[in-house]
Amino acid sequence: MTDKPFPTEAQIAAALAAAKARPALTEIYFVACGGSYALMLPNQYAVDRHAKTIAGHALNAAEFMARNPARLGPTSAVILCSHSGTTPETVDAARFARAKGALTIALTNLPGSPLDEAVEFPVYYTHAPKTFAPDHSAAVMARLTFGILAAREGNPLAQKLDTALTALPALIDSAIAAHADRIATFAEAMKREPVIYTMGAGANYATAYSYAICIFQEMQWIHSAGIHAGEYFHGPFEITDFDVPFIVLRGLGASRKMDDRGLDFVTKYSQRVTTLCAEELGLGVIDPEVVEHVEHMAFGTLLRVYCDKLADSRGHPLTVRRYMWKMDY
């Protein structure tokens, strides 16, 4: 973060005005890598669910360039994200998309970074993983997506989303406080655990994926996979046993039926299930039309506190890496 506030609000407004001004807009590509790619998945979800004239595609940045979609061009918006603004594939993808005539928008925490400079419309976000605010990355992404749907199609959910994002910080703070004992128990129980699975559906699958690859595999060297709750019964559930740990995200939106089916089964056959339930976190006060688009932000923030405590119990700080930042790759 810089010393002065980021111009985030003005940047969002500029990006949305550009999206509105395009003669046509037929698809949004959501392009990033790793944790930033995971941020994109709930936005493809939102486009799939709500957009009448726009298709959404979330793609890893290298995959996006290799795939070189036939539809990518002047009627496309490409929204990218890299925290440091230096991820080479994401910077290359921004240049690639811009050269094709697409509207390019990028989120980054680092003004002046290569990604900031590669796109027409940069948007800076603030970053504090153990708290939440409407100018954090996941919130800014959702505001851009719903803002484009409002600008292009008159979708009415953007205002409800903003109201939800304003209510979330206090709800998340309360949830973190209320979970203190559970967090300590989890950290102690998992301190020598070699495998932890994460499960979710709908927009929450993004959080399951993100924690599997960025927290467990990357930051804790724990074997993991993000399991989609709808896919669980078509293969992964056979790995369930009394001693296999799962984190399950139970939402309040359209995917709740999948969540509950997965949860009913996994809690019957594993004794080591950690459940984060949106209803129990108090998210029932959020407008039912948008709660499914923000609950992953609450799950992600709360899980980060779980994982900080886990890192303590393992004696392995979240900052320690074997390879990342230490060598060329």
The residues of the shown chain that bind a copy of itself, judged by CB under 8 A, are 27, 33-35, 37, 45, 48-53, 55, 57, 60-63, 66-71, 87, 89, 194-195, 201-202, 212-214, 217-219, 221-226, 228-231, 233-241, 254-255, 257-258, 261, 265, 269, 321-324, 329
Contact 83, 54 (CB under 8 A): no
Q: Which helix (H) or strand (E) holds 202?
A: none
Q: How far is the CB of 241 from a copy of itself (least distance, A)?
A: 8
* Helices 34-50 and 137-153, axial angle in degrees (round to 10): 30
* Closest CB to a copy of itself among residues 40, 172: 40
Q: How far is the CB of 13 from a copy of itself (least distance, A)?
A: 25
* Closest CB to a copy of itself among residues 11, 255: 255
* Closest CB to a copy of itself among residues 156, 269: 269
Please state, in angstroms and as integers, the Cα–Cα distance from residue 134 to each residue in 161, 170, 307, 322, following that order.
10, 12, 22, 33
Q: How far is the CB of 311 from a copy of itself (least distance, A)?
A: 14
* Closest CB to a copy of itself among residues 182, 314: 314
Q: How far is the CB of 166 from a copy of itself (least distance, A)?
A: 26
Give me the phi and psi of 227, to 5 degrees please: -110, 130
Give, as one character, the DSSP assignment of residue 234.
Answer: G
Q: Which helix (H) or strand (E) holds 259?
A: helix 256-269
Of residues 278, 316, 309, 305, the one with CA closest to residue 294:
278
Amino acid found at 95: R
* Closest CB to a copy of itself among residues 54, 118: 54
